Amino acid sequence: MKEPVRVTVTGAAGQICYSLLFRIASGEMLGKDQPVILNLLEITPALKVCEAVAMELNDCAFPLVKDVVVTDDPAVAFKDAKIGLMVGAKPRGPGMERKDLIADNGKIFSSLGKVIDQVADKDIRICVVGNPANTNAFILAANAPSINQRNITALTRLDHNRAIYQLAEKSGSDIASVKKMTIWGNHSVTQVPDISFTEINGANAADKVDATWAKEEFIPTVAKRGAAVIAARGASSAASAANAILDHMRDWCLGSESGDWVSMAVPSDGSYGVEKGLIYSYPVVCKDGDYEIVQDLAVSDFIKGKMVESETELKEERDTVSDLL
Ligand code: NAI
Protein backbone atom coordinates (compact mmCIF):
# COMPACT_ATOMS: atom_id res chain seq x y z
CA MET A 1 0.00 0.00 0.00
CA LYS A 2 1.30 3.48 -0.89
CA GLU A 3 1.93 6.15 1.76
CA PRO A 4 -1.15 8.39 2.21
CA VAL A 5 -1.06 11.81 0.52
CA ARG A 6 -2.15 14.75 2.63
CA VAL A 7 -4.76 16.76 0.68
CA THR A 8 -5.85 20.12 2.13
CA VAL A 9 -9.16 21.53 0.97
CA THR A 10 -10.31 25.03 1.94
CA GLY A 11 -13.94 26.11 2.04
CA ALA A 12 -14.75 22.51 2.88
CA ALA A 13 -18.27 23.25 4.16
CA GLY A 14 -19.27 24.99 0.92
CA GLN A 15 -21.19 23.96 -2.17
CA ILE A 16 -18.32 22.86 -4.38
CA CYS A 17 -16.69 20.79 -1.65
CA TYR A 18 -19.90 18.87 -1.03
CA SER A 19 -19.52 17.55 -4.56
CA LEU A 20 -15.74 17.32 -4.44
CA LEU A 21 -14.67 15.64 -1.22
CA PHE A 22 -16.52 12.36 -1.69
CA ARG A 23 -15.03 11.89 -5.13
CA ILE A 24 -11.49 12.54 -3.87
CA ALA A 25 -12.18 10.03 -1.11
CA SER A 26 -13.32 7.39 -3.58
CA GLY A 27 -10.04 7.66 -5.54
CA GLU A 28 -11.24 9.67 -8.53
CA MET A 29 -8.49 12.25 -8.16
CA LEU A 30 -5.30 10.39 -7.30
CA GLY A 31 -6.22 6.85 -8.28
CA LYS A 32 -7.87 3.87 -6.65
CA ASP A 33 -4.58 2.73 -5.11
CA GLN A 34 -3.65 6.04 -3.45
CA PRO A 35 -4.71 6.51 0.20
CA VAL A 36 -5.39 10.08 1.34
CA ILE A 37 -5.58 12.13 4.51
CA LEU A 38 -8.16 14.88 4.09
CA ASN A 39 -7.48 18.14 5.93
CA LEU A 40 -10.59 20.29 5.81
CA LEU A 41 -10.14 24.01 6.48
CA GLU A 42 -13.03 26.33 7.24
CA ILE A 43 -13.65 29.64 8.96
CA THR A 44 -14.79 29.26 12.57
CA PRO A 45 -18.53 29.92 11.98
CA ALA A 46 -18.66 27.11 9.39
CA LEU A 47 -16.86 24.50 11.51
CA LYS A 48 -20.07 22.79 12.62
CA VAL A 49 -21.17 22.21 9.05
CA CYS A 50 -17.66 21.08 8.21
CA GLU A 51 -17.83 18.52 11.05
CA ALA A 52 -21.02 17.22 9.48
CA VAL A 53 -19.27 16.78 6.14
CA ALA A 54 -16.53 14.86 7.94
CA MET A 55 -19.18 12.65 9.60
CA GLU A 56 -20.61 11.83 6.19
CA LEU A 57 -17.17 11.13 4.75
CA ASN A 58 -16.52 8.71 7.60
CA ASP A 59 -19.93 7.13 7.10
CA CYS A 60 -19.01 6.23 3.54
CA ALA A 61 -16.27 3.96 4.93
CA PHE A 62 -13.97 4.77 2.01
CA PRO A 63 -11.03 2.36 2.21
CA LEU A 64 -8.63 5.01 0.83
CA VAL A 65 -9.36 7.57 3.56
CA LYS A 66 -6.84 7.26 6.39
CA ASP A 67 -7.95 10.33 8.34
CA VAL A 68 -10.23 13.36 8.11
CA VAL A 69 -9.09 16.45 9.99
CA VAL A 70 -11.41 19.44 10.50
CA THR A 71 -9.83 22.71 11.54
CA ASP A 72 -10.06 26.49 11.39
CA ASP A 73 -6.29 26.82 11.78
CA PRO A 74 -4.49 27.11 8.43
CA ALA A 75 -1.19 26.05 10.07
CA VAL A 76 -2.77 22.72 11.07
CA ALA A 77 -4.55 22.31 7.74
CA PHE A 78 -1.47 22.85 5.56
CA LYS A 79 1.18 21.10 7.70
CA ASP A 80 3.12 18.86 5.27
CA ALA A 81 0.32 19.07 2.71
CA LYS A 82 1.22 17.88 -0.77
CA ILE A 83 -1.97 19.03 -2.47
CA GLY A 84 -3.91 22.24 -1.76
CA LEU A 85 -7.33 22.78 -3.27
CA MET A 86 -8.09 26.43 -2.54
CA VAL A 87 -11.86 26.59 -2.86
CA GLY A 88 -12.72 28.79 0.14
CA ALA A 89 -13.53 32.40 -0.70
CA LYS A 90 -16.25 34.94 -0.11
CA PRO A 91 -18.98 35.12 -2.72
CA ARG A 92 -19.70 38.47 -4.36
CA GLY A 93 -22.30 40.26 -2.22
CA PRO A 94 -25.09 42.60 -3.39
CA GLY A 95 -23.75 45.82 -4.87
CA MET A 96 -20.17 44.59 -4.64
CA GLU A 97 -17.84 45.50 -7.49
CA ARG A 98 -15.34 42.99 -8.89
CA LYS A 99 -12.50 45.08 -7.42
CA ASP A 100 -14.08 44.87 -3.93
CA LEU A 101 -14.20 41.09 -4.30
CA ILE A 102 -10.58 41.04 -5.43
CA ALA A 103 -9.49 43.08 -2.41
CA ASP A 104 -11.53 40.98 0.05
CA ASN A 105 -10.57 37.57 -1.26
CA GLY A 106 -7.03 38.70 -1.95
CA LYS A 107 -6.50 39.05 1.80
CA ILE A 108 -7.48 35.41 2.30
CA PHE A 109 -4.91 34.28 -0.25
CA SER A 110 -2.08 36.46 1.05
CA SER A 111 -2.50 35.11 4.58
CA LEU A 112 -2.87 31.49 3.41
CA GLY A 113 0.20 31.96 1.19
CA LYS A 114 2.28 32.98 4.20
CA VAL A 115 1.16 29.91 6.15
CA ILE A 116 1.74 27.56 3.23
CA ASP A 117 5.23 29.04 2.88
CA GLN A 118 5.96 28.07 6.49
CA VAL A 119 4.37 24.65 6.92
CA ALA A 120 3.49 22.92 3.64
CA ASP A 121 5.59 20.53 1.59
CA LYS A 122 7.81 22.70 -0.67
CA ASP A 123 6.46 20.92 -3.76
CA ILE A 124 2.82 21.23 -2.75
CA ARG A 125 0.62 21.26 -5.87
CA ILE A 126 -1.91 24.05 -5.56
CA CYS A 127 -5.10 24.64 -7.53
CA VAL A 128 -6.83 27.93 -6.75
CA VAL A 129 -10.58 27.84 -7.39
CA GLY A 130 -11.94 30.72 -5.29
CA ASN A 131 -12.48 33.78 -7.47
CA PRO A 132 -10.81 35.78 -8.91
CA ALA A 133 -8.86 32.53 -9.24
CA ASN A 134 -5.88 33.64 -11.35
CA THR A 135 -5.17 36.74 -9.29
CA ASN A 136 -5.69 34.87 -6.01
CA ALA A 137 -3.09 32.35 -7.20
CA PHE A 138 -0.76 35.24 -8.08
CA ILE A 139 -1.18 36.69 -4.57
CA LEU A 140 -0.63 33.29 -2.97
CA ALA A 141 2.55 32.75 -5.00
CA ALA A 142 3.95 36.17 -4.02
CA ASN A 143 3.38 35.34 -0.35
CA ALA A 144 4.87 31.84 -0.54
CA PRO A 145 8.32 32.42 -2.07
CA SER A 146 9.83 29.19 -0.70
CA ILE A 147 7.20 27.04 -2.43
CA ASN A 148 7.91 25.66 -5.91
CA GLN A 149 6.29 28.52 -7.87
CA ARG A 150 5.54 26.32 -10.89
CA ASN A 151 3.14 24.39 -8.72
CA ILE A 152 0.83 27.33 -7.97
CA THR A 153 -1.96 27.09 -10.52
CA ALA A 154 -5.58 28.16 -10.98
CA LEU A 155 -8.61 26.37 -12.36
CA THR A 156 -9.69 26.95 -15.97
CA ARG A 157 -10.59 23.32 -16.57
CA LEU A 158 -14.28 24.04 -16.07
CA ASP A 159 -14.10 26.53 -18.94
CA HIS A 160 -12.21 23.91 -20.98
CA ASN A 161 -14.88 21.28 -20.32
CA ARG A 162 -17.68 23.75 -21.06
CA ALA A 163 -16.01 24.56 -24.38
CA ILE A 164 -15.75 20.88 -25.32
CA TYR A 165 -19.45 20.42 -24.64
CA GLN A 166 -20.46 23.48 -26.71
CA LEU A 167 -18.38 22.34 -29.67
CA ALA A 168 -19.57 18.72 -29.50
CA GLU A 169 -23.17 19.88 -29.31
CA LYS A 170 -22.85 22.32 -32.21
CA SER A 171 -21.05 19.89 -34.50
CA GLY A 172 -23.15 16.87 -33.54
CA SER A 173 -20.01 15.03 -32.38
CA ASP A 174 -19.29 12.72 -29.52
CA ILE A 175 -17.65 14.43 -26.50
CA ALA A 176 -14.86 11.83 -26.57
CA SER A 177 -13.99 12.70 -30.18
CA VAL A 178 -13.08 16.31 -29.26
CA LYS A 179 -9.37 16.81 -28.48
CA LYS A 180 -6.99 19.75 -28.01
CA MET A 181 -9.43 22.39 -26.79
CA THR A 182 -7.73 25.55 -25.52
CA ILE A 183 -8.64 28.22 -22.99
CA TRP A 184 -6.24 31.16 -22.93
CA GLY A 185 -6.03 33.83 -20.25
CA ASN A 186 -8.03 34.75 -17.19
CA HIS A 187 -10.91 32.73 -15.65
CA SER A 188 -13.30 35.63 -16.29
CA VAL A 189 -15.38 36.94 -19.16
CA THR A 190 -12.16 37.95 -20.97
CA GLN A 191 -11.08 34.29 -21.24
CA VAL A 192 -10.36 33.09 -24.76
CA PRO A 193 -11.87 29.72 -25.66
CA ASP A 194 -10.08 28.77 -28.91
CA ILE A 195 -10.97 25.96 -31.32
CA SER A 196 -8.24 26.83 -33.87
CA PHE A 197 -6.21 23.74 -32.96
CA THR A 198 -9.05 21.55 -31.75
CA GLU A 199 -9.65 18.23 -33.46
CA ILE A 200 -12.84 16.24 -33.87
CA ASN A 201 -12.06 12.62 -34.71
CA GLY A 202 -8.60 13.79 -35.78
CA ALA A 203 -9.87 16.44 -38.24
CA ASN A 204 -9.68 20.19 -37.69
CA ALA A 205 -12.74 21.31 -35.71
CA ALA A 206 -12.76 24.75 -37.32
CA ASP A 207 -13.74 23.10 -40.63
CA LYS A 208 -16.80 21.51 -39.03
CA VAL A 209 -18.46 24.63 -37.66
CA ASP A 210 -19.29 28.03 -39.04
CA ALA A 211 -16.48 30.55 -38.49
CA THR A 212 -18.95 33.24 -37.38
CA TRP A 213 -20.37 30.86 -34.75
CA ALA A 214 -16.85 30.16 -33.45
CA LYS A 215 -16.12 33.87 -33.05
CA GLU A 216 -19.45 35.39 -32.11
CA GLU A 217 -21.35 32.68 -30.24
CA PHE A 218 -18.97 30.03 -29.00
CA ILE A 219 -16.58 32.39 -27.20
CA PRO A 220 -19.21 34.41 -25.26
CA THR A 221 -21.32 31.32 -24.52
CA VAL A 222 -18.38 29.59 -22.84
CA ALA A 223 -17.15 32.76 -21.14
CA LYS A 224 -20.59 33.55 -19.71
CA ARG A 225 -21.65 29.99 -18.89
CA GLY A 226 -21.03 30.52 -15.18
CA ALA A 227 -23.46 33.44 -15.14
CA ALA A 228 -26.00 31.37 -17.14
CA VAL A 229 -25.84 28.60 -14.51
CA ILE A 230 -26.30 31.15 -11.70
CA ALA A 231 -29.32 32.60 -13.51
CA ALA A 232 -30.89 29.16 -13.95
CA ARG A 233 -29.95 27.61 -10.62
CA GLY A 234 -29.88 30.56 -8.29
CA ALA A 235 -26.44 29.44 -7.14
CA SER A 236 -23.06 29.10 -8.82
CA SER A 237 -21.80 25.96 -10.58
CA ALA A 238 -20.80 23.49 -7.90
CA ALA A 239 -20.87 19.91 -9.23
CA SER A 240 -19.28 20.86 -12.55
CA ALA A 241 -16.64 22.94 -10.75
CA ALA A 242 -15.86 20.00 -8.45
CA ASN A 243 -15.58 17.72 -11.47
CA ALA A 244 -13.16 20.13 -13.14
CA ILE A 245 -10.99 20.31 -10.00
CA LEU A 246 -10.69 16.51 -10.06
CA ASP A 247 -9.82 16.59 -13.78
CA HIS A 248 -7.18 19.32 -13.21
CA MET A 249 -5.42 17.57 -10.35
CA ARG A 250 -5.77 14.01 -11.70
CA ASP A 251 -4.23 14.92 -15.05
CA TRP A 252 -1.45 16.92 -13.40
CA CYS A 253 -0.54 14.09 -11.02
CA LEU A 254 -1.21 11.09 -13.24
CA GLY A 255 -0.78 12.52 -16.77
CA SER A 256 -3.10 13.90 -19.44
CA GLU A 257 -4.41 11.62 -22.18
CA SER A 258 -1.93 10.88 -24.94
CA GLY A 259 -2.72 12.79 -28.16
CA ASP A 260 -4.61 15.44 -26.22
CA TRP A 261 -3.92 18.44 -24.04
CA VAL A 262 -5.76 20.27 -21.26
CA SER A 263 -6.08 23.89 -20.11
CA MET A 264 -4.51 25.04 -16.84
CA ALA A 265 -3.79 28.53 -15.53
CA VAL A 266 -0.07 28.39 -14.65
CA PRO A 267 2.69 30.93 -13.99
CA SER A 268 3.63 32.33 -17.39
CA ASP A 269 7.20 31.66 -18.50
CA GLY A 270 6.78 34.27 -21.23
CA SER A 271 5.23 31.80 -23.69
CA TYR A 272 3.09 33.46 -26.38
CA GLY A 273 4.37 36.87 -25.29
CA VAL A 274 2.49 36.84 -21.97
CA GLU A 275 4.26 38.67 -19.13
CA LYS A 276 6.31 36.29 -17.04
CA GLY A 277 4.78 35.36 -13.68
CA LEU A 278 1.14 36.16 -14.48
CA ILE A 279 -1.10 33.18 -13.80
CA TYR A 280 -2.39 32.64 -17.33
CA SER A 281 -4.37 29.78 -18.81
CA TYR A 282 -2.49 27.83 -21.48
CA PRO A 283 -2.84 24.52 -23.25
CA VAL A 284 -0.59 22.10 -21.35
CA VAL A 285 0.46 18.48 -21.57
CA CYS A 286 0.85 16.70 -18.22
CA LYS A 287 3.36 13.91 -17.80
CA ASP A 288 5.35 12.38 -14.94
CA GLY A 289 3.64 14.59 -12.37
CA ASP A 290 4.54 17.80 -14.18
CA TYR A 291 3.11 19.98 -16.97
CA GLU A 292 4.55 21.64 -20.07
CA ILE A 293 2.98 24.54 -21.94
CA VAL A 294 2.26 23.51 -25.55
CA GLN A 295 4.62 25.56 -27.72
CA ASP A 296 4.65 26.99 -31.24
CA LEU A 297 0.93 27.10 -31.95
CA ALA A 298 0.23 29.52 -34.83
CA VAL A 299 -2.23 31.81 -33.03
CA SER A 300 -4.43 33.95 -35.33
CA ASP A 301 -4.45 37.73 -35.06
CA PHE A 302 -8.08 37.60 -33.86
CA ILE A 303 -7.24 35.24 -30.97
CA LYS A 304 -3.99 37.07 -30.19
CA GLY A 305 -5.92 40.33 -29.78
CA LYS A 306 -8.25 38.66 -27.28
CA MET A 307 -5.33 37.04 -25.45
CA VAL A 308 -3.79 40.48 -24.95
CA GLU A 309 -7.11 41.83 -23.59
CA SER A 310 -7.21 39.03 -21.02
CA GLU A 311 -3.56 39.63 -20.10
CA THR A 312 -4.32 43.34 -19.66
CA GLU A 313 -7.17 42.48 -17.30
CA LEU A 314 -4.82 40.29 -15.24
CA LYS A 315 -2.31 43.15 -15.00
CA GLU A 316 -5.07 45.50 -13.86
CA GLU A 317 -6.20 42.98 -11.23
CA ARG A 318 -2.61 42.69 -10.06
CA ASP A 319 -2.37 46.48 -9.75
CA THR A 320 -5.45 46.58 -7.50
CA VAL A 321 -3.83 44.15 -5.04
CA SER A 322 -0.31 45.58 -5.05
CA ASP A 323 -0.52 46.04 -1.25
CA LEU A 324 -0.88 42.26 -0.84
CA LEU A 325 2.13 41.27 -2.95
P1 NAI B 1 -19.65 28.56 -0.99
O2 NAI B 1 -19.94 29.96 -0.56
O3 NAI B 1 -20.71 27.54 -0.99
O4 NAI B 1 -18.43 27.98 -0.12
C5 NAI B 1 -17.28 28.73 0.16
C6 NAI B 1 -16.80 28.29 1.53
O7 NAI B 1 -15.55 28.93 1.76
C8 NAI B 1 -17.74 28.67 2.68
O9 NAI B 1 -18.08 27.51 3.40
C10 NAI B 1 -16.89 29.64 3.51
O11 NAI B 1 -17.15 29.51 4.89
C12 NAI B 1 -15.48 29.19 3.14
N13 NAI B 1 -14.44 30.20 3.40
C14 NAI B 1 -14.53 31.55 3.27
N15 NAI B 1 -13.38 32.11 3.64
C16 NAI B 1 -12.54 31.12 3.99
C17 NAI B 1 -11.20 31.08 4.48
N18 NAI B 1 -10.51 32.20 4.69
N19 NAI B 1 -10.66 29.87 4.75
C20 NAI B 1 -11.36 28.75 4.56
N21 NAI B 1 -12.65 28.73 4.11
C22 NAI B 1 -13.22 29.89 3.84
O23 NAI B 1 -19.00 28.73 -2.45
P24 NAI B 1 -18.72 27.60 -3.57
O25 NAI B 1 -19.90 27.52 -4.46
O26 NAI B 1 -18.19 26.37 -2.94
O27 NAI B 1 -17.57 28.36 -4.41
C28 NAI B 1 -16.31 28.63 -3.85
C29 NAI B 1 -15.50 29.55 -4.75
O30 NAI B 1 -15.26 28.93 -6.01
C31 NAI B 1 -16.17 30.89 -5.08
O32 NAI B 1 -15.19 31.91 -4.98
C33 NAI B 1 -16.60 30.73 -6.52
O34 NAI B 1 -16.67 31.98 -7.19
C35 NAI B 1 -15.47 29.89 -7.06
N36 NAI B 1 -15.73 29.15 -8.29
C37 NAI B 1 -14.69 29.05 -9.18
C38 NAI B 1 -14.83 28.35 -10.36
C39 NAI B 1 -13.69 28.22 -11.32
O40 NAI B 1 -13.89 27.62 -12.37
N41 NAI B 1 -12.48 28.71 -11.04
C42 NAI B 1 -16.11 27.72 -10.71
C43 NAI B 1 -17.13 27.85 -9.71
C44 NAI B 1 -16.94 28.55 -8.52
Indicate the average pLDDT of the chain: 96
Q: How confident is the model at residue 312 (pLDDT cuts 50, 70, 90)?
A: very high
From atom 25 of ligand 1, which residue's Cα is the shortest distance away?
15
| CA–centroid distance, residue 87 to ligand 1 (Å) | 5
Q: Is 191 exposed, middle or buried (0-12, 13-18, 19+ CB in 10 A)?
A: buried
Percent above pLDDT 90 for the chain? 93
* 224-250 residue pLDDT tens: 999 999 889 988 899 999 999 999 999
Please give the pLDDT value at position 266. Answer: 98
3-state SS class at 179: strand
- The CA–CA distances, whole Å, from 219 to 216, 233, 260, 273 equal 6, 22, 21, 22
39 with 87: CB under 8 angstroms? no
ipTM score for this prediction? 0.98
Judge whether 318 is annotated as a binding position. Answer: no
Please give the pLDDT value at position 195. Answer: 98
Of 160, 236, 249, the one to substitute when testing ligand 1's pocket (max ligand atoms within 8 A of C-beta) is 236
Please give the pLDDT value at position 52. Answer: 98
Judge whether 131 is annotated as a binding position. Answer: yes
From atom 9 of ligand 1, which residue's Cα is the shortest distance away?
14
Least confident of 28-42, 87-101, 248-262, 280-294: 87-101
The C-alpha atoms of residue 224 and residue 130 are separated, in whole angstroms, by: 17
Ligand 1 environment, Cβ below 6 A: 10-11, 13-16, 41-43, 46, 87-91, 108, 129-131, 133, 155, 158, 187, 236-238, 241
Closest ligand 1 atom number to CA of residue 88: 7
Please give the pLDDT value at position 1. Answer: 80
* 101-137 residue pLDDT tens: 898 999 999 999 999 999 999 999 999 999 999 999 9
Judge whether 238 is annotated as a binding position. Answer: no
Q: Decide if 160 is catalytic.
A: no
- Secondary structure (DSSP) of 65-92: EEEEEEES-HHHHTTT-SEEEE---PPP
From atom 34 of ligand 1, which residue's Cα is the shortest distance away?
131
Q: Which of 6, 125, 187, 248 is catalytic?
A: 187
The C-alpha atoms of residue 77 and residue 54 are separated, in whole angstroms, by: 14
Please give the pLDDT value at position 61. Answer: 98
Q: Quick check: 209 pLDDT over 90?
A: yes
258 with 130: CB under 8 angstroms? no
Q: Quick check: 269 pLDDT over 80?
A: yes
Judge whether 6 is annotated as a binding position. Answer: no
Strands (E) across 176-247 are located at 178-179, 182-184, 192-194, 199-200, 203-204
101 with 132: CB under 8 angstroms? yes
Q: Quick check: 95 pLDDT over 90?
A: no
Q: How confident is the model at residue 97 (pLDDT cuts 50, 70, 90)?
A: confident
Q: Quick check: 94 pLDDT over 80?
A: no
- The CA–CA distances, whole Å, from 62 to 25, 66, 164, 201, 246 equal 6, 9, 32, 38, 17
| CA–centroid distance, residue 90 to ligand 1 (Å) | 6
Q: Quick check: 98 pLDDT over 80?
A: no
The C-alpha atoms of residue 279 and residue 111 are separated, in whole angstroms, by: 19
Return the amino acid letter for 91.
P
Which has more confidence, 99 or 243?
243
Angle at 35 between CA 134 and CA 44, to 5 degrees: 55
Q: Quick check: 260 pLDDT over 90?
A: yes
Please give the pLDDT value at position 161. Answer: 98
Closest ligand 1 atom number to CA of residue 11: 7
- Dihedrals φ, ψ of 124, to 5°? -55, 135
Please give the pLDDT value at position 69. Answer: 98
